[in-house]
A and B are shown apart, each in its own frame.
Chain A
């Protein structure tokens, strides 16, 4: 695990050496870059990026920023939170390692998401020094997130594969659409948490790589260039498009994640701080895991 982590981080930083040398964008490659623009045989990524960025990305982010919380408010008012007893026994769920890794990722996200939004709506903040500073913070938070993303990916992966419970969970949307307390089919992690896990780790890695390539501009992974046959500028266009599209999904589920842990399941946030979940919460929301723990005599 350490080896991969090292390789990953090293690959991020080694590429920074590349930008001191000849730029592929303004020197030799400039010809290829501009020749391809809008040509029939090219992918027309330049016009595609221009069209998406000019007409859709900011609007889509605004829709998520306003729409998702609005749905939550409605849900909170109509169905309300799930309250579980906090006086019962506790189930030790998250090790200290789990919690530290999660907290570093959480702090990184709390910086990445608002600063990302500020860049997207940069014009409303008047641009200039303030937005530039937010951009730099966005880059710094990327480093702390990059350090924990692989440990996070590895520490939870064995619990995150698809299970029959997940299909059942999805059919009833985790029981969140009803007020009654009923055991919900789920293991240690439910289908919603699993989706967030995969998006935050794999999607997060996409965000790191696309972000890094926009940061360095000359970010050159020879393998990607030769695999895709894209010129550097087209790779940057792909990076910018992916950063926005995957970013939208990440932001939407990030909001869901916060709503669930802070508002819906009362007190759920304590589990990632102390490591202990309420037994009653486990019994209802992770019923399969509860049965298994019972059977193994771990309660």
Chain B
């Protein structure tokens, strides 16, 4: 990986078979409470022949992340490698990041006082949070830190068809182009969410 690597997800909707492994693996790996699904498999154009496809969405770790721009307590920080993380100890659970997000990624467990929205939870690309790496505090709040251990994020590691990929955006683009070329048929449109995720580079 180069110094300037920017980490991205990519879900190849030609390959995704809607098995939901990624979202189950994510929920289990990070011991997420019920009601929070950091990753979700969605099916679009359901029942329309030739147009139906499934894809897996989570936080896409946007370039110029909108969530980071609107947060009133500035609790987001963007790592050198482009992973968008936030500090749950600072977050006040106002919901603004959800309103700004193109992917509906931020979620709010109802664990605040009087059942108010608790601290926001979203996909960390398995990179934990601001607490000490691999500490129990980090694990408690954000789940595993697989990136620090040199492992691929859980969802992509689990994906049986390798539809869901994660890594340096240059490499991901190369794989994507190769796949399009080798399929060699039909008009291949950019995968879902591509423009929002990559456009503002």
Per-residue B-contact encoding for A207-244, CB less than 8 Å = 1, 0 else: 00000001101000000000000000100110010000
B27 at the interface (CB under 8 A from A): no
B130 at the interface (CB under 8 A from A): no
Given contacts A30-B104, A35-B44, A233-B99, contact A53 B69 (CB under 8 A): yes
Whole-angstrom distance between the Cβ of B164 and the nearest chain A Cβ = 17
Given contacts A30-B42, A127-B91, 18 further A-B contacts (CB under 8 A): A30-B40, A31-B44, A35-B44, A46-B100, A46-B101, A49-B100, A50-B69, A53-B69, A120-B72, A127-B75, A127-B90, A131-B73, A131-B92, A135-B92, A135-B93, A215-B116, A233-B98, A240-B99
Residues of B within 8 A of A128 (CB): 73, 89-90, 92
Stretch of B5-13, B106-114, B146-154, B174-182 at the chain-chain interface: B106-114
Would you list which residues of chain A between 87 and 142 have a CB under 8 Å from chain B? 119-123, 125-128, 131-132, 135-136, 139
Would you list which residues of chain A between 18 and 65 have a CB under 8 Å from chain B? 19, 23, 25-26, 30-31, 33-35, 37-38, 46-47, 49-50, 53-54, 58
CA distance A233 to B99 in the complex (A): 7
CA distance A119 to B94 in the complex (A): 9
* Chain A residues packing against B (C-beta within 8 Å): 19, 23, 25-26, 30-31, 33-35, 37-38, 46-47, 49-50, 53-54, 58, 119-123, 125-128, 131-132, 135-136, 139, 214-215, 217, 233, 236-237, 240
Q: How many residues of B contact A (CB 8 A)?
A: 40
The secondary structure that dominates the A interface is helix
Residues of B within 8 A of A50 (CB): 66, 69-70, 100
Mind listing 15 A-B residue pairs with CB under 8 Å?
A25-B98, A31-B42, A34-B104, A35-B44, A38-B102, A47-B66, A50-B70, A54-B70, A119-B94, A127-B87, A128-B73, A136-B112, A139-B116, A233-B98, A236-B95
